[in-house]
């Protein structure tokens, strides 16, 4: 029994922001019905691994464990089917361009008139109100407009986007948090509510400390420069003989052992590095010194040395190395999706552990519209009506 057992979610979302929030709820035990456009589906179905491998990782990652119903919400019959579904649901999720659901006659007001307990979650790029409310975009817009890209790279170099859809992902977590809070509030009020999140707003929240620093000083903290501009310590990555290694601060009590185990005790007596907090110049000087030392050994060799010395470190790993780490599997951070055509697909698991109501990552992936007839019959539609809907292109 998952924590959300008995909760029904209608996922009318696209790509990542909405669907990933719904996927997390499915992992928590909710019954999630994916509502997709007939004949086309979620746009994520059309972003393949490569030109020769047409499998769609974005769709797989954000839609496991859901039932799929194909309904054209733009058609009157499709609108009515969705409203009938909404009467049975607890949550609706969408992340179309702002105003799209309203234009189809599926606004919060219209849906809540049929089901006052509905929690109606919408995701946008720039926010639900204001001059940019109707603008379209995607993850890159959130990273750019939210300020994240300005923090990447090194001084004098070009900024670069983060290599994952981080704005979408963080917004999906904001959406899931808002929905769960609304579920709790409904238990006392008896009413649902609208929940709005955006890519830009969630990016700003993800940089709360950095924005606070800017608000206090009037100056942007700066570029990452292999580490973090607000952490004034040996908190950065350094090159090794075959890769990179992260040093996680080297607190003062650990410094003597650290400098000894890397055979540079002289750095421990260097007055520049004696203080508790380093200026950006001193931090850069220490990074330069350590970048001379660590290329002498491989990342694995340094990990063994630092582990034995009780130091704080982490190897900079690629996905293959993460996938090969038993720690990730034992904690459920990685899982396997069993597909009838593709076989076992290794993928992300769940990041949350709960003792009484454990999360369970979805183990199946529905084909487009696979569950349409079954769900419509659950709503009380007769087979003749379903065939009429199909003839009219509503399903």
Residue 137 DSSP SS3: coil
Q: How far apart (Å, rounded) are the C-alpha atoms in residues 126 and 166?
A: 15
Question: Cα separation of 267 and 256, whole Å?
Answer: 9
Annotated catalytic residue: which of 27, 31, 42, 168?
Answer: 168
DSSP result, 365-392:
-PPTTTTHHHHHHHTT--HHHHHHHHHT
Closest by alpha carbon to 315, among 373, 381, 247?
247
Catalytic residue list contains 270: no
In this structure, are residues 23 and 362 in contact, taking their beta carbons and an 8 Å threshold?
yes
Contact 257, 311 (CB under 8 A): yes
| Sign of the Cα pseudo-torsion (145, 147, 153, 155, in order) | positive
In eight-state DSSP terms, residue 158 is P
123 SS3 class: strand
User: Roughly how many angstroms between the first and final C-alpha of the chain, as a whole number?
Assistant: 32
Q: List, in sequence order, the alpha helices (H) in the chain.
A: 17-27, 57-63, 76-88, 100-103, 108-114, 139-145, 166-189, 199-206, 208-217, 255-261, 265-269, 280-293, 299-308, 319-323, 326-330, 372-378, 383-391
User: How far, in whole angstroms, is CA 263 from its chain's centroid?
Assistant: 41
Q: Which residues make beta-bridge pairs with 345?
A: 337
Q: Is 47 helix (H, G, I), strand (E, B) or coil?
A: coil
Gap between the Cα atoms of 340 and 342, Å rounded? 6
- Please state, in angstroms and rounded to a whole number, the distance separating the CA atoms of residues 272 and 251: 16
Q: Which residues are annotated as catalytic?
A: 168
């Amino acid at each position: 029994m998952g924590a959300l057992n008995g909760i029904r979610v209608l996922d009318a979302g696209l790509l990542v922001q909405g669907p990933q929030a719904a996927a997390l709820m499915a992992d928590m035990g909710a019954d999630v019905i994916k509502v997709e456009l007939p004949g086309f589906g979620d746009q994520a179905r059309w972003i393949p691994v490569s030109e020769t491998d047409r499998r769609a990782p974005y769709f797989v990652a954000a839609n496991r464990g859901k039932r799929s119903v194909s309904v054209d919400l733009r058609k009157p019959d499709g609108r009515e089917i969705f409203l009938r579904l909404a009467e049975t649901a607890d949550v609706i999720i969408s992340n179309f361009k702002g105003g799209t659901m309203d234009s189809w006659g599926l606004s919060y007001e219209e849906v809540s008139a049929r089901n006052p307990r509905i929690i109606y979650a919408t995701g946008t790029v720039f926010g639900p109100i204001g001059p940019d409310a109707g603008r379209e975009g995607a993850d890159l817009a959130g990273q750019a407009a939210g300020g994240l890209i300005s923090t990447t790279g090194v001084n004098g170099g070009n900024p670069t986007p983060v290599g994952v859809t981080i704005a979408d992902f963080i917004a999906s977590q904001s959406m899931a948090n808002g929905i769960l809070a609304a579920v709790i509030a409904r238990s006392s009020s008896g009413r649902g509510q609208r929940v709005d999140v955006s890519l830009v707003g969630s990016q700003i929240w993800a940089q709360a400390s950095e924005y606070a620093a800017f608000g206090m000083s009037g100056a942007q903290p700066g570029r990452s420069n292999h580490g973090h501009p607000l952490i004034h310590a040996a908190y950065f990555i350094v090159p090794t003989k075959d890769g990179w290694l992260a040093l996680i601060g080297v607190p003062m009590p650990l410094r003597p052992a650290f400098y000894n185990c890397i055979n540079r005790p002289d750095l421990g007596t260097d007055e520049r590095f004696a203080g508790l907090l380093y200026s950006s110049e001193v931090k850069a000087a220490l990074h330069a010194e350590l970048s001379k030392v660590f290329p002498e050994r491989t990342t694995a060799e340094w990990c063994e040395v630092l582990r034995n010395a009780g130091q704080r470190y982490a190897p900079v790993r690629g996905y293959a190395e993460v996938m090969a780490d038993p720690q990730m599997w034992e904690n459920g951070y990685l899982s396997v999706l069993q597909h009838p055509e593709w076989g076992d697909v290794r993928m992300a698991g769940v990041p949350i552990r709960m003792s009484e109501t454990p999360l369970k990552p979805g183990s199946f992936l529905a084909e487009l519209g696979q569950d349409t007839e079954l769900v419509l019959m659950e709503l009380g539609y007769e087979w003749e009506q379903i065939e009429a809907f199909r003839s009219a292109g509503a399903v």
